[in-house]
Structure 1
Amino acid sequence: MSTAPQAAAKATLPPPPALVGIDTVLKQIVLLVAVFIALVPTIFMIMTALKSDDEYTFNKVGFPHALVFDHFDVVLFESPFFAWMLNSAILAGGAVVLSSAVSCLGAYAIARMQFKGRHFLFSASVALMAIPPVVMIVPLFVLYSRIGLISTYEGAILIYAGLITPFSVYLLTTFFRTLPKELFEAARMDGAGDFLILWRIVLPLSLPALLTLVVVNALYVWNDLLIAIIFLQDDAKRTLMAGISVFQGRYENQIPLVMAGMVIASAPMIILYIAFQKYFIRGLMAGAIK
């Protein structure tokens, strides 16, 4: 027969830990397999870039026996890689800044201002996301040829900004609608106008969504090849992706050298994503969970 102190001690013992269900284990296995499949191309690219040409001939998929960095020297110092990266950075930065400014104003007007046609405007903006860019190549090229914007940074930035703005408006409008109405009412009672409310209240609260747009849109412009080849025909303004296509054709038989170029080209966007990963995940989920 147990005593009162023993019964009290048993009552204070923590409950046994719950066993992990088979569903949880299966989900984790599926996620690990998906992550591995997603990382295989990147791992192969890095391993190939660190091999010599002779080793790659006899060992195409295995790990390198000795790390070789000569290919990175060739890419960086024997080709205009830095100039290509600068051109891509100019286009990505200009398009993202221009699109973000226009999208913030448009999304705020659609989400928080009352005027006729705002629902139609939002629907038209969403519909533009479904139009492939290749459909607009011919009319844009004819227009740019007449007004002299071929092979100019300004012309390419305008095209890229126009392509990424519909998605930006959609994401920001969805996010702005989730903000509490009390914030806007209190600001209006204090005499703040729409532009001041957008600048002082909405944008600081929308930092995750804005940084998400920066990452997604910069990645799109950085990796684009079609617009860069057609509208930037001057070799001095060749972008990174266009330069890599020429680089790949020139060194078609030197796969490790080409892979070294791919590693260098993808490094800035990987760094950008890692730096803003926390805000990127929050920005994608903000409109759905608030």
Structure 2
Amino acid sequence: MNTFLRRRTGPTVRYLLLAVVAFIALLPTYVMFTGAFKTQADFLRSPFGLPLSPTLAGFGRVWSAQFPTWFSNSVIVTGASVILTIAIAALAAWGFANWNFPGKSTLLAVIISLMVIPPVVLLIPLFQMGAQLGWISTFQLLIVIYIGLMLPFSIFMLTNFFSTVPSSMLEAAKVDGASSWTTFVRIVLPLSKAPMATLAIVNVLWAWNELLLALVLMQSNDKKTLMIGLTGFQSRYSLDIPTVMAGMAIATLPLLVVYLFGQRSFIQGLTAGAIKGE
């Protein structure tokens, strides 16, 4: 009887704990999105209540500022850096996983070790490099730096996955006369949709939310990214809570959309290659 009770109460406690953690994690998001549709008086009266008289005034004030420019800048920087990172990482990872050359393990270890270097340590050298190139307040500088920071983890993740592709499949393609490039494009890449989707989501989340480098390197107002603009926006409208909530909701919405549409591939990518041959 005691064993039966332990078996029944064990999952119940776990589910209850997960429900509590989910509630705590989602509560700020709920307050943000509901607060964006309230007036200042409604929010102060009931911060956690539903908007009884929804209004889009906060979104109107947000969009009349420089938010469209900041938003488009973030889309350009994030999109370009993530796409190029995945393309470069896929090619490099295929080389590490499929080719044998002197110093391969050492080079891969050096690349992996770069993941532990915090961006703040590189801030001054990167600024000096950008100034010498005349690239301060340009998209290309931020994109190149983001690619460099995202590549180590991307190469590491894809190398691990490519190493689990069954060798029999690669040998069969080689017997059929397929070159290494053809095997990579027609066999390996189609099998890598899940890990690449996972990598894309992780990199999008990082690049979209990155603030420190963008704040220092993007000094022109028309080149600021959304996170920089949102920082100043919160100071400007600190007393207008619904407007601040509307701005934060607009900044958060693309990330929610990316994750909701890619969550299945994200979960598959986390477990892809866990077993040899999968």
Normalised-by-shorter TM-score class:
over 0.9
Q: Give the alignment of 1:1-290 within 5 angstroms.
A: 21-76=8-63, 78-289=64-275, 290=278
For 1:233 and 1:261, how far apart are their aligned partners in 2? 21
The code of the aligned residue for 2:51 comes to: P
For 1:92 and 1:187, how far apart are their aligned partners in 2? 36
For 1:33 and 1:287, how far apart are their aligned partners in 2? 32
Q: Is the 8 A contact 2:112 2:156 kept in 1?
A: yes
Q: CA deviation at 1:88?
A: 0.4
- Size of the aligned set, in residue pairs, is 272
The code of the aligned residue for 2:264 comes to: K
For 2:87 and 2:266, how far apart are their aligned partners in 1? 19
Provide Cα deviations, 1:24-45, integer angstroms capped at 9, x if missing partner. 1111111111211111110111
Q: CA deviation at 1:288?
A: 2.4
Gaps of 5+ in 2: none
Q: CA deviation at 1:60?
A: 2.9
For 2:97 and 2:21, how far apart are their aligned partners in 1? 37
What SS does the corresponding residue of 1:252 show, helix, strand or coil?
coil
Q: CA deviation at 1:56?
A: 2.2
For 2:193 and 2:44, how far apart are their aligned partners in 1? 49
Greater than 6 Å deviation, 4+ residue runs: none
Gaps of 5+ in 1: 1-17
The code of the aligned residue for 2:156 comes to: Y
For 2:24 and 2:179, how far apart are their aligned partners in 1? 51
Please say which structure displays the higher CA radius of gyration. 1
TM (norm. structure 2) is 0.94
Q: Is the 8 A contact 2:31 2:47 kept in 1?
A: no
The code of the aligned residue for 1:92 comes to: T
Alpha-carbon RMSD:
1.5
